[in-house]
Structure 1
Amino acid sequence: MSVNLPNTIENQLLLRLSPTGRDRIGAQSDCIELLSGSVLYEPGHMIEHAYFPLSTVICLMATLPDHHPLEMSLVGNEGMVGASLVLGVPTAAMQASVHNPGSCLRLSCVQLQAAMIEIPELRTTLNHYLHRQVMQLAQSAACIHFHDIEQRLARWLLMTHDRVHCDHFHFTHECLANMLGVRRSGVTLAAGLLQHQGLIQYTRGEITIVDRQGLEAVSCLCYSASSM
């Protein structure tokens, strides 16, 4: 669903551009509203659009046959979805689905390629972001292998908190299990431990961050490394 373009572009990547560059992107893009659970890409399928979140949060998920999907990265207004288009690769490597509903700017694959030619600073900015995203994915893979569930849950909650810009958000048990790559019973245990420590409140999928600093202390070092 298209919505009115905001007066101020709130995507952090686009804010790095000059006012002229931002105006060009604003004129060429559509501002749309994304609904929770909407799937934007499927692995192996063609990428038709690049998305620059404003208030929405999009998750990138690795999928394997006979296994539940595993969340590898969250993208909010600090980044973009469809970064492989910067390399000229129009095929999705992971599933991209809407984690939290909200607005974003959308450009077609053709529009993005043309914009990177017309606005050289855009290509430079997106190249830097692509490098950062690769590093974050590597960090996530290591985190899943080496760190315990409680630490990883604290990390994902902090990453979500950074992107939704509010203390309260919704997570189903299934969603948390996908984030962590564990059974739902593992989610219950880890969330219960964080709640017992007074760091969060968690009831029927509704999560409230109570003690942000305490949550950072419990989280593994991967959170600070991926936030750099």
Structure 2
Amino acid sequence: MQSDSVKTPDQIENRLLAALPDQDRRAVLANCESVELRRGEVINEPGDRIRDVYFPTDSFVSLVAPPADHTGLEVRLVGNEGMIGTPLILGVEFTQIRTFVQGPGPAWRLSSEGFGEAMHQSSVLQARLHRYLDVLMNQSIQLLTCTRFHRVEARLARWLLMTQDRAHSNHFHVTHELLALLLGVRRVGVTKAASALQERQLIQYRRGEVTVLDRTGLQSAACGCYGAAEAMYEQVLG
């Protein structure tokens, strides 16, 4: 069911779609549905057939890889810069990733059939999404390096900056338990890292509510992966 607060086509904010030529963008949007994503809503589980793709606008979504011996690890955080359902770009109908809504808000939803038709009809859309896949593959390599070599505090600072970008706000919700899952560390590690950032007055964190107080300071606390990933996106897609 659509929400009255969901944005209409002339208010589009998804960057992948907004960069398309007007005719191509309108053709895609003609088959899209405006939906309101709810926090915690599960879009896909591993092994699911991908029935729809999503282009977030004021929402953002976590993609988590669930290894057998661990609760999971976030492999991607997608907001209005990207899309959910990328295997369909390559013609793959199933996903091996758990996908759930981290930040609630509006998104565009397009059926897998409609997405395939849009790709077939627009070579510009097809080329742009192939470039997007290239960005994701390179960012995945960077994430592996970051997870292996960088301290939890620096990784947390990076994640908070990424979330702030996608939430379009200095304030958002996330619990210690969820952060431990997303960063692939124990809860005590998250508590220690968050406390260190709070003591430096970079953030305020209480009962799952985060407020970024000093973005410049948070950028200094983050590992260099933050700026590198964003620069990569701008170079290929900006």
**TM superposition score normalised by structure 2:** 0.93
Shift of 1:51: 0.5
C-alpha displacement of 1:65:
2.3
2:30 is paired with a residue whose SS is helix
Query: Are positions 1:152 and 2:159 aligned together?
Result: no
Contact 2:7 2:106 in 1 (8 A): no
Tell whether the 8 Å contact from 1:70 to 1:181 is kept in structure 2 after alignment: yes
* Residue of structure 1 equivalent to 2:211: 208
Gaps of 5+ in 2: 232-238
The list of structure 1 runs, each at least 4 consecutive aligned residues, that deviate by more than 4 angstroms after superposition, is none
Give the one of 141, 145, 161 matched to 1:142.
145
Q: How far apart are residue 5 of structure 1 and its match?
A: 5.0
Match of 1:227 in 2: 230
Q: CA RMSD in A?
A: 1.1
% same residue:
46
Q: Which of residues 160, 165, 168 is equivalent to 1:162? A: 165
Deviation at 1:69, TM superposition (A): 1.6
- Residue aligning to 1:36: 39
- Aligned equivalent of 2:83: 80
Contact persistence 1:21–1:119 (CA under 8 A): yes
Higher deviation after alignment, 147-156 or 14-23: 14-23
CA contact (8 A) 1:199 1:215 kept: yes
Where do 1:43-192 residues align within 5 Å? 43-192=46-195
Cα offsets for 1:17-56 (capped at 9, x unmatched): 1111111111101110111111111112211111100111
Q: Shift in Å at residue 8 of structure 1?
A: 2.1
| Counterpart-to-counterpart distance in 1, 2:58 and 2:110 | 16
**Superposed displacement of residue 66, structure 1:** 4.1
Question: Which one-letter code corresponds to 1:98 in the other structure?
Answer: V
Quote how far apart the aligned CAs of 1:67 are: 1.7
Per-residue CA deviations over 1:183-228 (Å, capped at 9, x if unaligned) read 1111110000000111000111110000101111111111111112
Aligned length: 228
Q: Which amino acid aligns with 2:151?
A: D
Q: Which runs of 5+ in 1 are unaligned?
A: none
Provide the rounded CA distance (Å) in 2 between the counterparts of 1:19 and 1:5: 18
| CA distance in 2: counterparts of 1:83 and 1:185, whole angstroms | 34
